[in-house]
A and B are shown apart, each in its own frame.
Chain A
Amino acid sequence: MRTIAQPARPGGFREGLSRVVGTRTADWVAKPGGTRLLIVIAFFIVWEVGVRFFGDPLFLSPPSEVLHGFFILLGEPKVIAAVTLTFWEIFIGFLLSVIIGVSIGLPVGLNLFSRRSLFPIILLLYATPQVVFLPLVILYFGIGTASKIAFGVSHGIFPIIVTVVAGVQNLNPTLLTASRSMGASQRQILRWVVFPHMVPSLFTGMRLGMTGVLLGVLLAELYVSSGGIGYYTRLFTDTFAPSKVFALVGVLAVFAVILNELCRRAETHFNRWRG
């Protein structure tokens, strides 16, 4: 986007700043993106300085230590294995959520009767606090990978089902009539009319579903503290190694942000024709 250089108002913030750092820098800072970056940088500086001088090293770590801790972790194969496992659980959980979600969402959405009768049940299930079932799920599926995936899937399918149903519901019946008048079979209509129409909603659902799967898997991992990242977070917490805790948490946070951003971009891309 071409920026239009604006003359600084006398006495304004930008004018004062431009006297210190030069006009072009001042213009860049005064833009929202620039300011945001400055805020983030300031945050890290405050964090670093604050903890070094005032913080209790048992509980807090400055960013430099966290970075150091990160590299230490990279050298511990068991930690890496745990994180990788978590990643795979999320990935598989997501895939299953999409498959199951669409398989349930499409039939429910397409059939008016099932939509009116079954959908409220689905919404009710969506609204229940699934986290209270966590001990039960672990009881049934054990402490291994299966329970993490299962819990992730149970969080992930609902947004997908709901958005698929919404996407199908929005289908203009005129489109269906027009297709049928041109001789399309039921399968063709499903493949070429219903499915593409549903896809944008699906991507919105997938973004929400991804958040859900992430939540479910992480909850389960943290609950089961015998192996996996739950174990390591507990270990680092109990041994008062805050830098490692922060580093591990940081890695997961970055994961989450990247996944979320990917889903958001995919969603925007596929929603383009919506306008």
Chain B
Amino acid sequence: MKWGGKLVQRLVQLGFLVALLGTWHFMTATGTINPLLLPSVPSVWTKFVQIVSNGEYWPHLKITLYEYLVSMCIFVPSGLTVGYLVSRSRFTVRTFDPLFSGLYAIPQIILLPVYILYFGLGPGSKIAVGATIGFFPVVLNTIAGFSSVDRLYITAAKSMGASGFKMFWSVMVPAAWPVVLTGLRIGLIISFLAILGTETIVSLSGLGHRIVTLAELLNTSLMFAYIIFAVMVAIALNFVVSTAEARGKRH
């Protein structure tokens, strides 16, 4: 076995995980840390199995997913449409692209108080945050994707008689698609995280809110279970979206 080979790398990563769990267990078992602050590994595990098996996560997840889906229905079509329209002339690109880039650079979280003022504490403000945060990567990448379509494809298609809708659908969309898809992936992921974050900060319902409630109740073992659950949902989403992106980019 070659020192530094793949197997050893995996072992190191595994070792890291084991060390983490081990330290955690050690600290709780020996009572170094107040069990209210750091619940024991088995208690968290029990709670985790509990919430998954009896489905008590569902009412919370349902709300978060609802907010996510609605915001998606807002920012995906608008981002794609605005992005395409802006990409149609160099002038609009040079005017709007820096505008969008600049706005993207501001952490949207700053606008949170405004959204809450306007949309209240319910799902409305989360949808608003998710939609505005998700909008920017989509629109920026759509602009980039459509404006960087190789002119050669357009010329070749024109020479064969393509124009109007056919040109758009059969040439420009497939050519721009990989870049647009990346934008969609980024937007889908960060909007979910933003929604989760907003729920944490101020909310009446949803997964993020649940975690906060449990923290306030000092029900730390259940809170840990929910945190792990939320992380897994996020990772699952990440996986789904990234796989979809990779498959869409096959050629």
A129-B230, A132-B200, A135-B211 known; A256 vs B9 contact (CB < 8 Å): no
Contact of B116 among A30, A120, A237 (CB under 8 A): A237
In this complex, the member of B98, B197, B224, B238 whose beta carbon has the largest number of chain A beta carbons within 10 angstroms is: B197
Q: Check B30 for interface membership: any CB of A closer than 8 A.
A: no
Q: How many interface contacts (CB-CB < 8 Å) are there between A and B?
A: 129
CB neighbours (8 Å) of A242 from chain B are: 117
CB distance from B242 to the nearest CB of A (A): 10
Q: Choose, from B48-56, B71-79, B106-114, B156-164, the stretch at the interface.
A: B106-114
Q: Contact size class for B?
A: 35 or more
User: Cβ of A246 and Cβ of B37 under 8 Å apart?
Assistant: no
Q: Contact size class for A?
A: 35 or more
Q: Check A131 for interface membership: any CB of B closer than 8 A.
A: yes
User: Cβ of A117 and Cβ of B227 under 8 Å apart?
Assistant: no
Q: Choose, from A16-24, A99-107, A194-202, A212-220, the stretch at the interface.
A: A212-220
Main secondary structure of the interface of B (DSSP, over half): helix
User: Cβ of B238 and Cβ of A127 under 8 Å apart?
Assistant: yes
User: Cβ of B95 and Cβ of A245 under 8 Å apart?
Assistant: no
Interface residue ranges, A against B (CB under 8 Å): 30, 32, 35-36, 39, 59-60, 112-113, 116-118, 120-121, 127-129, 131-136, 138-140, 211, 214-215, 218-219, 222-223, 233-234, 236-237, 242, 245-246, 248-249, 252-253, 256-257, 260, 264
Interface residue ranges, B against A (CB under 8 Å): 4, 8-10, 12-13, 16, 37, 91, 94-96, 98-99, 102, 105-107, 109-114, 116-118, 192-193, 196-197, 200-202, 207-208, 211-212, 214-216, 220, 223-224, 227, 230-231, 234-235, 238
User: Cβ of A117 and Cβ of B9 under 8 Å apart?
Assistant: yes
